[in-house]
């Protein structure tokens, strides 16, 4: 049997809450057949299913705090053990701490994979605060829209599957929780940006503008 081609290397999207990284990562993954691995989505799935992991994660998420590293890394390890060899992974919202970045390197090495590029999406803070309060989600395929930046083409109708889109400020989009999430980002995730920048893997992309424009900027940064 032919050995699968060695993957081009994995991608990481980093950015504060509301920057649009989830929407963009999902879009690019769909377009290119990559696997979109978003730890926030995985935690929300566990919360929805009422698993032990979900119950534990929710105690942190509801306060805007990061879930402890060992729990987060364990969940990623288990997800990575199920993926197809040769399929590129785009990590969204992981790693968020320097310890998670180290754990990811070790994990990828065991799978003969590596990080190819880390993209930091940047948006001014007042714009972030405007965006997080204006989320909407498709009730069927869960596509997330920003009513402030890119609403569905037809009001209330999903561009992707035609089902109903409803305004869904997430429980952790409440202003005081958002403030905590931004503090966590500044304290714990900014050092991750420095970590990858020091390794020459970081690209910075301006996240302001029409969604398609930002997608193209991101794609260029990945392909560079």
Tokens 């560079």 sit on residue:
224
Output Rg (C-alpha) for the chain, integer angstroms: 17
| Least spacing, CB of residue 4 vs ligand AMP, in Å | 28
Question: Collapsing DSSP states into helix, strand and coil, what is residue 120?
Answer: strand
CB neighbours (10 Å) of residue 111?
14
Q: Applying CB under 6 A, does 219 fall inside the site for ligand AMP? A: no
Active site residue 181: yes
Among 94, 104, 143, 152, binds ligand AMP (CB under 6 A): 94
Give residue number: closest CB to ligand AMP. Answer: 40
The catalytic position among 44, 88, 117, 181 is: 181
Which phi and psi (to 5°) does residue 170 adopt? -70, 155
The catalytic position among 79, 170, 180, 204 is: 170
Selected range binding ligand AMP among 7-15, 64-72, 191-199, 213-221, rule: CB under 6 A: 64-72
**Could you say which DSSP state residue 210 is in?**
-
Look at the alpha carbons of 28, 35, 117, 97 in this order and tell me if their dihedral is positive or negative.
positive
Active site residue 135: yes
Name the residue among 95, 97, 68, 59 with its Cα closest to residue 186.
97
Active site residue 21: yes
Closest to ligand AMP by CB, 17 or 207:
17
Instruction: Write out the catalytic residue numbers.
Output: 21, 96, 135, 170, 181
List interacting residues with ligand AMP (CB under 6 A).
17, 39-40, 43, 60-61, 64-67, 72, 93-94, 96, 100, 172, 181
């Amino acid at each position: 049997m032919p050995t699968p081609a060695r993957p081009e290397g994995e991608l990481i999207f980093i950015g504060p809450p509301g920057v649009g990284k989830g929407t963009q990562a999902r879009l690019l993954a769909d377009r290119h057949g990559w696997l979109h691995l978003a730890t926030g989505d995985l935690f929300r799935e566990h919360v929805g299913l009422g698993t032990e992991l979900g119950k534990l994660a929710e105690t942190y998420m509801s306060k805007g705090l990061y879930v402890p590293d060992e729990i987060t890394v364990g969940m990623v390890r288990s997800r990575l053990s199920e993926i197809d060899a040769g399929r590129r992974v785009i990590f969204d919202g992981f790693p968020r701490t320097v310890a998670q970045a180290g754990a990811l390197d070790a994990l990828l090495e065991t799978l003969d994979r590596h990080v190819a590029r880390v993209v930091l999406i940047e948006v001014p803070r007042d714009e972030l605060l405007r965006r997080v309060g204006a989320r909407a989600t498709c009730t069927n395929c869960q596509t997330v829209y920003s009513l402030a930046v890119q609403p569905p083409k037809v009001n209330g109708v999903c561009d992707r599957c035609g089902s109903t889109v409803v305004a869904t400020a997430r429980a952790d989009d409440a202003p005081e929780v958002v403030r905590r999430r931004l503090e966590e980002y500044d304290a714990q995730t900014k050092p991750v940006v420095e970590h990858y920048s020091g390794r020459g893997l970081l690209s910075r992309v301006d996240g302001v503008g029409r969604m398609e424009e930002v997608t193209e900027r991101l794609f260029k940064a990945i392909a560079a």
